Amino acid sequence: QVQLVESGGGFVQAGGSLRLSCAASGRSLVSYRTGWFRQPPGKEREFVAAINRSGSSTNYADSVKGRFTISRDTAQNTVYLQMNSLKPEDTAVYYCAADPSRSFTIATMVRQYDYWGQGTQVTVSS
């Protein structure tokens, strides 16, 4: 099975940028659909972005479309989330997740993912 470790979170002012990394070990990410989710304080975990197994297709939540970019480096076995034009409402714990499904479609729901990282905090001040 795969193990996931997120990094890159922190404190940033509105309008700033951060890049989150999700380093995988144990198995290659080409065997998994991968995604980023976030959990704002007092709220449920929500979909942010995802990439399919082949890396050929991505999907984004409407709230981050045009500001966030998900990408994958197979040599580094790492998935990234580039976050630009950050807003206070982006404040949350961000999680990466992996799904071993053989499907080449994109998974956008929490229940579709079997493996999760520990999360990294992103705080955006106004």
**pLDDT averaged over every residue in the chain:** 96
Cα(12)–Cα(18) distance, integer angstroms: 8
* pLDDT higher than 90, residue 71: yes
Rounded (5°) CA angle 87-82-60: 75
The share of the chain scoring above pLDDT 90, in percent, equals 91
Q: What is the pLDDT of residue 43?
A: 97
Region 54-71 average pLDDT: 96
Q: What is the pLDDT of residue 103?
A: 86
Q: What is the pLDDT of residue 80?
A: 98
Among candidates 77, 70, 76, 66, which has minimal Cα distance to 20? 70
Q: What is the pLDDT of residues 87-124, one digit of tens each?
A: 999 999 999 999 998 888 999 999 999 999 999 999 99
Region 10-26 average pLDDT: 97
- CA quadruple 44, 49, 54, 57: dihedral, nearest 10: 130
* pLDDT higher than 90, residue 70: yes
